[in-house]
């Protein structure tokens, strides 16, 4: 694609980066075939190619974001399906980040929209606040339809996403690290994830148990904060950088500080961002070298388990698992077969639904900010999943887990919970209940 940025514009690093990305696009349109919003809405401006044109136009003319560009960028899920389809290697992820930042800096948002975004930004990344709000939210849940009537349907969606049962355990004191330290073969940091540790603490528990059992010592940094994904997807790069710097300090205070064998991440939405810290902090002199180390250490739990040749201690037979591939894992990190191989090695019958490359509509806060599209994508995903008659649905991202759970009574669990079960841990609670009911 030809671009016509002036030399002066190209002196700005972000514009230079955008220019390089834009020039790799061939306008071929292959990406439109796998873009969820284009499939659903059929509008070229809701396709990757259409959005690329809108971004190019906006940045080249160095003009404030107009309503049209903002509207269609807001409808992008950042699922990155377009990146795995693109034959030319267009780096849509970083182009979208640049565009979102420009939109945030120059576009217009109503007071109502800014209020909703500010609520999300000030609650979701903080486990204690989120937990408190969820308890409070349960009181309001029966009245959620009132929020729709007063034009705040985002609050209705938030209330609907609150699970029926809330975890009560103390966030920082729940891992049973019971093996003598001397027997540990490896030492890793486990990233807890801000939303995950509140919504489904059993995922981190299962991960710690499983790793301990296989001779891996698990360390958690009390200074860990949100990975920054939430801010980044809202175009708030400065806030995202603050989170990233905080975490680099938490995990690697200096280049000579104690090194770990890996930084284990069980929420793939966070994993995609942490693996990209070296890019996010590329211009931060004090942090760049350390962010490179952190990004290199970051690994999804399924990748790590394969790398240490994980072998389940027993085979669980007769359980039909539909594996839902989170976009952040499949497209963002290109981790596709590892979770399926691991589950099969544990005896599970694993199936993948058709359109496994299409997003479930979760996409960070997308299910709250774009509820109409999100629900359509969820229901489409569920149609494909339920046609396979699963006993349980497995996935590797808390966002997908929450989104899919909101549309079905079939238990939805993290892959690692099933692997923990197959190696001596408990059966995931929701699955246990379902199996007991069926017995
Ligand atoms: S597939 Fe890649 S090169 Fe083709 S239009 Fe889409 S982004 Fe551009
Ligand atoms: S990130 Fe997803 S929704 Fe956005 S343009 Fe690419 S494929 Fe479409």
Per-residue pLDDT of the chain (439 residues; tens, 9 = 90+): 999 999 999 999 999 999 999 999 999 999 999 999 999 999 999 999 999 999 999 999 999 999 999 999 999 999 999 999 999 999 999 999 999 999 999 999 999 999 999 999 999 999 999 999 998 988 888 888 888 888 888 899 999 888 777 765 543 443 444 445 557 789 999 999 999 999 999 999 999 999 999 889 999 998 999 999 999 999 999 999 999 999 999 999 988 888 899 999 999 999 999 999 999 999 999 999 999 999 999 999 999 999 999 999 889 999 999 999 999 999 999 999 999 999 999 999 999 999 999 999 999 999 999 999 999 999 999 999 999 999 999 999 999 999 999 999 999 999 999 999 999 999 999 999 888 887 7
Give residue 83 CA to ligand 1 midpoint distance, Å: 8
> Ligand 1: residues within 6 Å at CB?
25-31, 48-49, 52, 82, 85-86, 88, 90
CB 82 less than 6 A from any atom of ligand 2: yes
Sequence-distant (6+) residues with CB within 8 A of 274 are 191, 227, 247, 263, 265, 294, 295, 298
Ligand 1 atom closest to residue 30's alpha carbon, by position in its atom list = 1
pLDDT of residue 167: 66
Alpha carbons 34 and 98: distance in angstroms, whole number: 22
Closest CA to 327 of 351, 356, 304, 285: 356
CB 373 less than 6 A from any atom of ligand 2: no
Environment class of 351 (CB within 10 Å of its CB; exposed 0-12, middle 13-18, buried 19+) = middle
CB 51 less than 6 A from any atom of ligand 2: yes
CB 272 less than 6 A from any atom of ligand 2: no
Closest CA to 328 of 235, 199, 193: 193
Give residue 90 CA to ligand 1 midpoint distance, Å: 7
Give residue 252 CA to ligand 1 midpoint distance, Å: 38
Alpha carbons 24 and 19: distance in angstroms, whole number: 9
CB-CB neighbours of 337 under 10 Å: 11
Give residue 30 CA to ligand 1 midpoint distance, Å: 6
pTM: 0.93
CB 80 less than 6 A from any atom of ligand 2: yes
The ligand placed nearest to the CA atom of residue 21 is: 1
Q: Regarding beta strands 186-191 and 216-219, do their DSSP bridges make them parallel or antiparallel, or are they unpaired? A: parallel
The answer to whether 59 and 102 have CB atoms below 8 angstroms apart is yes
Which residue minimizes the CA distance to atom 4 of ligand 1? Answer: 28
Alpha carbons 312 and 330: distance in angstroms, whole number: 24
pLDDT of residue 176: 46
Three-state DSSP state, 354? coil
Give residue 315 CA to ligand 2 midpoint distance, Å: 38
**DSSP state letter for 164:** S
pLDDT of residue 254: 86
Alpha carbons 349 and 395: distance in angstroms, whole number: 15
Q: What angle do CA 72, 237, 85 make, to 5 degrees?
A: 50
Give residue 35 CA to ligand 1 midpoint distance, Å: 11
The ligand placed nearest to the CA atom of residue 31 is: 1
CA 286 to chain centre: 27
Sequence-distant (6+) residues with CB within 8 A of 233 are 78, 100, 363, 364, 365
pLDDT of residue 170: 46
The ligand placed nearest to the CA atom of residue 74 is: 2
Alpha carbons 39 and 377: distance in angstroms, whole number: 10
pLDDT of residue 180: 53
Which residue minimizes the CA distance to atom 2 of ligand 2? Answer: 79
Which residue minimizes the CA distance to atom 8 of ligand 2? Answer: 35
pLDDT of residue 410: 96
Which residue minimizes the CA distance to atom 4 of ligand 2? Answer: 76
Q: Which of 43, 73, 80, 328 to mutate to test the pocket of ligand 2 (most atoms within 8 A of CB)?
A: 80
Alpha carbons 428 and 416: distance in angstroms, whole number: 10
Give residue 397 CA to ligand 1 midpoint distance, Å: 27
**DSSP state letter for 133:** H
pLDDT of residue 152: 86
């Amino acid at each position: 694609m030809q671009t016509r940025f002036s030399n002066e514009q190209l002196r700005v690093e972000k514009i230079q980066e955008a220019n390089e990305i834009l020039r790799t696009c061939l306008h071929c349109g292959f990406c439109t075939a796998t873009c969820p919003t284009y499939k659903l809405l059929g509008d070229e401006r809701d396709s990757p190619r259409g959005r690329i044109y809108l971004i190019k136009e906006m940045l080249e003319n160095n003009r404030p974001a107009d309503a049209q560009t903002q509207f269609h960028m807001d409808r992008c899920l950042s699922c990155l399906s377009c990146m795995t389809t693109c034959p030319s290697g267009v780096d849509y992820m970083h182009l979208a980040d640049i565009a979102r930042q420009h939109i945030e800096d120059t576009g217009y948002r109503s007071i109502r929209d800014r209020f909703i975004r500010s609520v999300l930004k000030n609650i979701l990344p903080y486990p204690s606040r989120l937990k408190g709000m969820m308890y409070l939210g349960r009181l309001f849940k029966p009245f959620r339809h009132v929020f729709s009537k007063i034009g705040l349907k985002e609050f209705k969606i938030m209330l609907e996403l609150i699970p029926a049962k809330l975890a009560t355990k103390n966030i920082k004191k729940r891992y049973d690290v019971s093996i003598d330290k001397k027997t540990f073969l490896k030492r890793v940091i486990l990233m807890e994830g801000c939303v995950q540790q509140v919504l489904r603490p059993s995922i981190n528990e299962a991960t710690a148990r499983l790793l301990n059992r296989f001779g891996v010592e698990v360390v958690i940094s009390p200074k860990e904060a949100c990975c920054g994904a939430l801010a980044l997807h809202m175009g708030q790069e400065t806030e995202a950088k603050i989170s990233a710097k905080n975490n680099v300090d938490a995990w690697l205070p200096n280049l000579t500080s104690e090194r770990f064998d890996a930084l284990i991440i069980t929420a793939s939405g966070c994993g995609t961002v942490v693996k990209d810290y070296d890019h996010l902090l590329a211009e931060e002199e004090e942090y760049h070298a350390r962010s490179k180390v952190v990004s290199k250490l970051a690994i999804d739990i399924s990748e790590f388990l394969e790398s240490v040749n994980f072998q389940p201690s027993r085979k669980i037979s007769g359980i039909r698992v539909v594996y839902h591939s989170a976009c952040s894992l499949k497209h963002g990190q290109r981790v596709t077969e590892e979770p399926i191989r691991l589950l099969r090695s544990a005896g599970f019958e694993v199936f993948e639904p058709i359109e496994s490359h299409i997003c479930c509509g979760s996409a960070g806060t997308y299910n709250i900010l774009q509820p109409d599209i999100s629900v359509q994508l969820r229901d489409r995903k569920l149609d494909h999943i339920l046609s396979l008659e699963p006993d349980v649905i497995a996935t590797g991202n808390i966002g997908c887990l929450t989104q899919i759970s909101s549309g079905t009574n079939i238990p939805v669990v993290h892959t690692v919970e099933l692997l923990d079960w197959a190696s001596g841990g408990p059966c995931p609670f929701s699955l246990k209940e379902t199996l007991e009911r069926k017995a």
